[in-house]
Chains A and B, each alone.
Chain A
Amino acid sequence: MRIGVFVCHCGSNIAATVDCPSVAEAAKLFPDVVFATDTMYACSEPGQDGIIQAIKEHRLDGCVVASCSPRMHEPTFRRALERAGLNRYMLEMANIREHVSWIGKNKELNTGKATELVRIAAEKLRLNTPLFANQFDVTKRVLVIGGGVAGIQAALDCADAGIQVIMVERETSIGGKMAKLDKTFPTVDCSSCILGPKMVDVAQHPNITLYAASEVEEISGYVGNFDVKVRRKATYVNWASCTGCGLCMEKCPSKKSHDAFNEGVATTTAINIPFPQAIPKKAAINPEFCMKLQKGKCGVCAKVCPTKCIDFEQQDTIVSEKVGAIVAATGYDLFDWTVYGQYGAGRYPDVVTSLQYERMMNASGPTSGHIQRPSDGREPKRVVFIQCVGSRDKSVNRPYCSGFCCMYTAKQAVLTKDHIPDSDSYVFYMDIRSPGKGYDEFTRRAQEQYGVQYVRGRVSMVYPKGDVLVVRGADTLAGTQVEVEADLVVLAVGVEASKGAAHLAEKLRISYDQYGFFMESHPKLKPVETNTAGVYLAGCSQGPKDIPTSVGQGSAAAAKVLTLFAKDKLESDPQVSSVNQNRCVGCLKCTMTCPFGAIKDVKDRAGNTKAEVIETVCQGCGICTVTCPHGAIQLQHFTDNQILAEVNALCQPELEF
């Protein structure tokens, strides 16, 4: 084999701490290396041309590019090789940027390490063989998980483009958090007036199938061909015939059920439709509070229901769907604010969360939009907002900024003044973060026009005094302690990934960060892609963001889905396992461990059992290769011999045991 080595400077990214020319010089001595050079930017047009020219001039069979992470530029260099007439799998990359120059300062050591990485890559390349991709059909249907505003946008965009959409929503209605909001910043327009029509569109769109009260149970398959099992949870109401008339709600005697939609501000009936604009507008029974399901006595709803759709025997059902792409838009949940015991969170009824406050202000909320103290129903005259509760606080392991709390707090303070003109509002804040279009103007208006008092500093405690609460905190600008008496305290609770996000990520085989937010493929250049082909992200599932950004991401994810579906066939990755039938003893251990069911058993001509890999199903995970005791099944491009060659390149055999 004739190998060429190209050591990239990446401007000064690599060259500052790695002596690139001497790495190239050293590479000339490696077996089969016939050409080695350093290059300023290997990925640039002249850089790629240099590679192509060298391949032709030196009749190279394969190339080692020592540069950045293959995540970044492997496709780039593979294309360059193809343009020069080589098979794209005759490329190996040595990551001397992320793995070397960016993490070590000692130039001599770095140069040594870079040289070793190049040696490893060259040794592996010597055993590379050309691989050729197969083609397979794409199922042009998309699964959208989560029916918040981000998911709704992605679903509508795809559906409008003619794609079949399956939407899976955990709650009994779509809408997410936005459906709970009163008005939205910065324009202070009514949330349900702008979201409601979109929700109706989802219900009425011929291309959208909505599974509410459902969760994704299992996902198998791969880009273009995912098999999804959806668990439709028992609602004890036959939705096919429920008309959403609400008679059952009127008559249900169990009126003390937890009202999740209203964030527990009020209680509701065991059978309920969460809010008037719910989509789908169907009743569901909360089994925890239903007397019939708990004690076997009641069944009033079944008697009053005009369409006889109550079914106490209903069980969860599983439906299977085939899709080609998936958009994960599972949004966020509020941080558990009760850990802030010093704020009386969860103990004093008049300390509420921001989302509870939205429900209290909302005209269709339990108080019909009248702001009242939960303790005595009195209208509060002085409201104190505490920001960053569960945000930017290392002590509760939430070091990040939740992004939109500054804005909604300003909004809520403004709305408080609108609702109760003779009220005063105080906001305890750390910084005001309002970088969006028209946002800073908005927070200023809150202060200047609405007279909201902003106090910069952390609150140390909230304690009751008579029938008011005293908020004690620091005013760091004035350098003093302040105490404000409040009728109502609103905590701007920070956000975290929605419950179970990490479990879902495991099913989707995508990465997630330590807080459960899904990881995008590249923080700047691939913000809605994931590292799993065919799985895209939208909205707060990827990190906190406000409605405009969530909607924008929903559309972006839809664009990615449509791009994927623009092709009728996709190329399968040939880096899959393959069985050497001469070696296979037919023990079928590999079939037992393959997580994708990609191996079947076949009989050879003599009737012996052998394993065979289904190429389009194999994901190249390599689990079978470590299962097979004697290496009969090998992952192409990562064979045992190649890995061994890499190890041997690093651990030279003189190191006697």
Chain B
Amino acid sequence: MSTLEQLKEQIRKALPDLDVVIGWEQGYDAMHATPLFIREEADIDRLIWSPLCVHSLGTYLTGLTKSSKVQKVGLVVKGCDSRAIVQLTQERMIPRENVTLFGVGCSGCLSHARLEYKVEQGGHYVEDMHAITFNGDKVEVAVDGGVESFDFDTVCLEKCLTCRFPNAIATEHFAGEEVPVAPKREKAPSLEAFEKLPLDERFAFWQDQMRRCVRCYACRNTCPMCVCRDHCISTSRNPHWVSQEASTAENFMFQMIHTMHLAGRCIECGECQRACPVDLPIMLFRRTMVHAVKDTFNYVSGADPEATPPLLTFKAEEDNINERGW
């Protein structure tokens, strides 16, 4: 039985006890998937599982579990998605007992941004792509009557290159085979390249990038860890840390807030950058923080449901910061 068939079977069995199960279905065109809310058995047939299933569905959880209509939620999760659930559980943000996870192993998801860039480079319009097939290491795209073929590694999401959690963890169900853990890169190539720049160039880079942010807050809204909703400090006037002015400085301040609030919590799902309508490379911030947390606290977020995130503890003396030399 294929992974998808197994998954459908598991959902079919569990559905009577659940109010809704969230997975993915084919989207508005051949190139996109979109979240699917399964409420009845008939909906199950629309479920798909492929590298187009990019969305981290955990983002819906904190909202859903607060609503009075929904008690029990099922969720299909990839490895990275499951880390978000682990993190939310640690932070007691979701009633974990009301959530049923259907895990899968994932060999990487498509980066629409990278693919579209390549297709444009090849002299095509992205609108003209009308079919996509994933064929082992290759991705074949039907465009303008012809077929363009790309190495999967060149068009996958960057996070997939460094992924250490391809298989969903701490789930109730698991469909298909486990995928071997084989990160292709130690560090994200974009961060590696960025860190080579001298400081003044990095500063100039961000001045240039941050000017473009339109403060749509899509990055925040899609982040599974951003649970503050109406009270987010970046839109609040009390305390009034950032103004609503879309200046470079204020935009940058907002990104810093997001980055700081995700310290030790960000599970590198990359959803923030994927959601950004103007393609700002904000994962550079998130990844830098992820590395800082790893170096300082030896902590990987969303990996262990029993762990306490380092910034959610009080310790007079940190294990890895020896201030007093004792």
When A587-B227, A656-B249 are in contact, do A631 and B314 touch as well, CB less than 8 Å? no
Q: Is the CB of A632 within 8 A of B231?
A: yes
Tell me the B288-326 residues at the A interface (CB within 8 Å).
308, 311-314, 316-317, 324, 326
* A595 part of interface (Cβ distance < 8 Å): yes
Instruction: For residue B229, give the distance in angstroms from its CB to the closest CB of chain A.
Output: 7
Q: Is the CB of A588 within 8 A of B229?
A: no
Instruction: For residue B297, give the distance in angstroms from its CB to the closest CB of chain A.
Output: 14
Q: Is the CB of B248 within 8 A of A657?
A: yes
Residues of the B chain whose Cβ atoms lie less than 8 Å from the Cβ of A592:
308, 312-314
For the complex, what is the distance from the CA of A582 to the CA of B239, rounded to whole Å? 14
For the complex, what is the distance from the CA of A592 to the CA of B91, rounded to whole Å? 10
Nearest CB to that of B233 among chain A residues?
A: A630
Residues of the A chain whose Cβ atoms lie less than 8 Å from the Cβ of B3:
none
Residues of the B chain whose Cβ atoms lie less than 8 Å from the Cβ of A588:
92
For the complex, what is the distance from the CA of A638 to the CA of B324, rounded to whole Å? 28
Residues of the A chain whose Cβ atoms lie less than 8 Å from the Cβ of B316:
506, 595
Contact with A along B221-245 (1 / 0, CB 8 A): 0000001110111001011110000
Nearest CB to that of A589 among chain B residues?
A: B312
For the complex, what is the distance from the CA of A587 to the CA of B232, rounded to whole Å? 13
* B154 part of interface (Cβ distance < 8 Å): no
Instruction: For residue A581, give the distance in angstroms from its CB to the closest CB of chain B.
Output: 12
For the complex, what is the distance from the CA of A462 to the CA of B92, rounded to whole Å? 68
Q: Is the CB of B324 within 8 A of A502?
A: yes
Q: Is the CB of A640 within 8 A of B312?
A: no
For the complex, what is the distance from the CA of A632 to the CA of B308, rounded to whole Å? 22
Tell me the B165-182 residues at the A interface (CB within 8 Å).
none
Residues of the B chain whose Cβ atoms lie less than 8 Å from the Cβ of A286:
none
When A585-B228, A641-B238, A644-B239 are in contact, do A593 and B313 touch as well, CB less than 8 Å? yes
Residues of the B chain whose Cβ atoms lie less than 8 Å from the Cβ of A630:
228, 231-233, 236
Q: Is the CB of A585 within 8 A of B229?
A: yes
User: Among A503, A585, A641, which residue has its beta carbon within 8 angstroms of that of B326?
Assistant: A503
Q: Is the CB of B314 within 8 A of A595?
A: yes
User: Among A502, A594, A644, A657, which residue has its beta carbon within 8 angstroms of that of B252?
Assistant: A657
Nearest CB to that of A588 among chain B residues?
A: B92
Q: Is the CB of B326 within 8 A of A629?
A: no
User: Among B91, B229, B239, which residue has its beta carbon within 8 angstroms of that of A641?
Assistant: B239
* B247 part of interface (Cβ distance < 8 Å): yes
Nearest CB to that of B203 among chain A residues?
A: A657
For the complex, what is the distance from the CA of A632 to the CA of B232, rounded to whole Å? 10
Q: Is the CB of B233 within 8 A of A631?
A: yes
Instruction: For residue A309, give the distance in angstroms from its CB to the closest CB of chain B.
Output: 36
For the complex, what is the distance from the CA of A657 to the CA of B250, rounded to whole Å? 9
Q: Residue among A587, A623, A657 with the most chain B CB within 10 A?
A: A657
Q: Is the CB of A627 within 8 A of B93?
A: no
Residues of the B chain whose Cβ atoms lie less than 8 Å from the Cβ of A585:
227-229, 231
* B98 part of interface (Cβ distance < 8 Å): no
Nearest CB to that of B308 among chain A residues?
A: A592
For the complex, what is the distance from the CA of A42 to the CA of B100, rounded to whole Å? 68
* B185 part of interface (Cβ distance < 8 Å): no
How big is the B interface, by class? Answer: 20 to 34
Q: Is the CB of A583 within 8 A of B313?
A: no
Instruction: For residue A54, give the distance in angstroms from its CB to the closest CB of chain B.
Output: 32
For the complex, what is the distance from the CA of A656 to the CA of B250, rounded to whole Å? 10
Tell me the A615-652 residues at the B interface (CB within 8 Å).
623, 627, 629-632, 634, 639-641, 644
Residues of the B chain whose Cβ atoms lie less than 8 Å from the Cβ of A656:
247, 249
* B261 part of interface (Cβ distance < 8 Å): yes
Nearest CB to that of A655 among chain B residues?
A: B249
Q: Is the CB of A502 within 8 A of B236?
A: no
Contact with B along A123-143 (1 / 0, CB 8 A): 000000000000000000000
How big is the A interface, by class? Answer: 20 to 34
For the complex, what is the distance from the CA of A640 to the CA of B207, rounded to whole Å? 26
For the complex, what is the distance from the CA of A589 to the CA of B308, rounded to whole Å? 11
User: Among A502, A593, A632, which residue has its beta carbon within 8 angstroms of that of B312?
Assistant: A593
Residues of the A chain whose Cβ atoms lie less than 8 Å from the Cβ of B92:
587-588
Instruction: For residue A519, give the distance in angstroms from its CB to the closest CB of chain B.
Output: 15
Residues of the A chain whose Cβ atoms lie less than 8 Å from the Cβ of B239:
631, 634, 639-641, 644
Residues of the B chain whose Cβ atoms lie less than 8 Å from the Cβ of A503:
326
Nearest CB to that of B237 among chain A residues?
A: A641
Nearest CB to that of B235 among chain A residues?
A: A630
Q: Is the CB of A629 within 8 A of B233?
A: yes
Q: Residue among A627, A634, A640, A644 with the most chain B CB within 10 A?
A: A640
Q: Is the CB of A631 within 8 A of B236?
A: yes
Contact with B along A568-602 (1 / 0, CB 8 A): 00000000000000010101110011110000000
Instruction: For residue B279, give the distance in angstroms from its CB to the closest CB of chain A.
Output: 22
Instruction: For residue A516, give the distance in angstroms from its CB to the closest CB of chain B.
Output: 10
Instruction: For residue A159, give the distance in angstroms from its CB to the closest CB of chain B.
Output: 32
For the complex, what is the distance from the CA of A124 to the CA of B107, rounded to whole Å? 55
Instruction: For residue A617, give the distance in angstroms from its CB to the closest CB of chain B.
Output: 14
Q: Is the CB of B93 within 8 A of A644?
A: no
Contact with B along A184-223 (1 / 0, CB 8 A): 0000000000000000000000000000000000000000
For the complex, what is the distance from the CA of A593 to the CA of B311, rounded to whole Å? 8
For the complex, what is the distance from the CA of A503 to the CA of B207, rounded to whole Å? 46
Instruction: For residue A510, give the distance in angstroms from its CB to the closest CB of chain B.
Output: 13
When A593-B312, A595-B314, A627-B312 are in contact, do A640 and B91 touch as well, CB less than 8 Å? no
Instruction: For residue B65, give the distance in angstroms from its CB to the closest CB of chain A.
Output: 12
When A502-B326, A629-B261 are in contact, do A589 and B91 touch as well, CB less than 8 Å? yes
When A502-B326, A506-B316, A630-B233 are in contact, do A641 and B240 touch as well, CB less than 8 Å? yes
Q: Is the CB of B314 within 8 A of A644?
A: no
Q: Is the CB of A587 within 8 A of B93?
A: yes
Residues of the B chain whose Cβ atoms lie less than 8 Å from the Cβ of A583:
231
For the complex, what is the distance from the CA of A657 to the CA of B208, rounded to whole Å? 11
Nearest CB to that of B243 among chain A residues?
A: A653
Contact with B along A314-338 (1 / 0, CB 8 A): 0000000000000000000000000
Nearest CB to that of B229 among chain A residues?
A: A585
Contact with A along B91-119 (1 / 0, CB 8 A): 11100000000000000000000000000
Instruction: For residue B54, give the distance in angstroms from its CB to the closest CB of chain A.
Output: 26
Nearest CB to that of B239 among chain A residues?
A: A640
For the complex, what is the distance from the CA of A172 to the CA of B314, rounded to whole Å? 34
Nearest CB to that of B261 among chain A residues?
A: A629
Q: Is the CB of A657 within 8 A of B241?
A: no
When A502-B326, A641-B239 are in contact, do A657 and B312 touch as well, CB less than 8 Å? no
Q: Residue among A623, A629, A640 with the most chain B CB within 10 A?
A: A629
Instruction: For residue A399, give the distance in angstroms from its CB to the closest CB of chain B.
Output: 19
Contact with A along B157-196 (1 / 0, CB 8 A): 0000000000000000000000000000000000000000
Residues of the B chain whose Cβ atoms lie less than 8 Å from the Cβ of A632:
231
Instruction: For residue B258, give the distance in angstroms from its CB to the closest CB of chain A.
Output: 10
For the complex, what is the distance from the CA of A639 to the CA of B313, rounded to whole Å? 22
User: Among A502, A594, A623, A640, which residue has its beta carbon within 8 angstroms of that of B241?
Assistant: A640
For the complex, what is the distance from the CA of A323 to the CA of B213, rounded to whole Å? 57
For the complex, what is the distance from the CA of A583 to the CA of B231, rounded to whole Å? 6
For the complex, what is the distance from the CA of A502 to the CA of B228, rounded to whole Å? 40
Residues of the B chain whose Cβ atoms lie less than 8 Å from the Cβ of A644:
239-241
Instruction: For residue B8, give the distance in angstroms from its CB to the closest CB of chain A.
Output: 35
For the complex, what is the distance from the CA of A577 to the CA of B168, rounded to whole Å? 40
Question: Can you list 16 A-B contacts (CB < 8 A)?
Answer: A585-B227, A585-B229, A589-B91, A589-B312, A592-B308, A592-B313, A593-B314, A594-B314, A623-B314, A627-B312, A630-B228, A631-B241, A632-B231, A639-B239, A644-B240, A656-B249
| Residues of A participating in the B interface, judged by any CB pair closer than 8 Å | 502-503, 506, 583, 585, 587-589, 592-595, 623, 627, 629-632, 634, 639-641, 644, 656-657
| Residues of B participating in the A interface, judged by any CB pair closer than 8 Å | 91-93, 207, 227-229, 231-233, 236, 238-241, 247-249, 252, 261, 308, 311-314, 316-317, 324, 326
Q: List 14 extra interface pairs beyond A629-B232, A657-B207, CB under 8 A.
A: A583-B231, A587-B227, A588-B92, A593-B314, A595-B314, A630-B236, A634-B239, A639-B239, A640-B241, A641-B238, A641-B239, A657-B247, A657-B248, A657-B249
Of all A-B residue pairs in the complex, the 8 with the closest CB atoms, nearest first, are: A657-B249, A640-B239, A595-B314, A630-B228, A630-B233, A630-B231, A592-B312, A631-B239
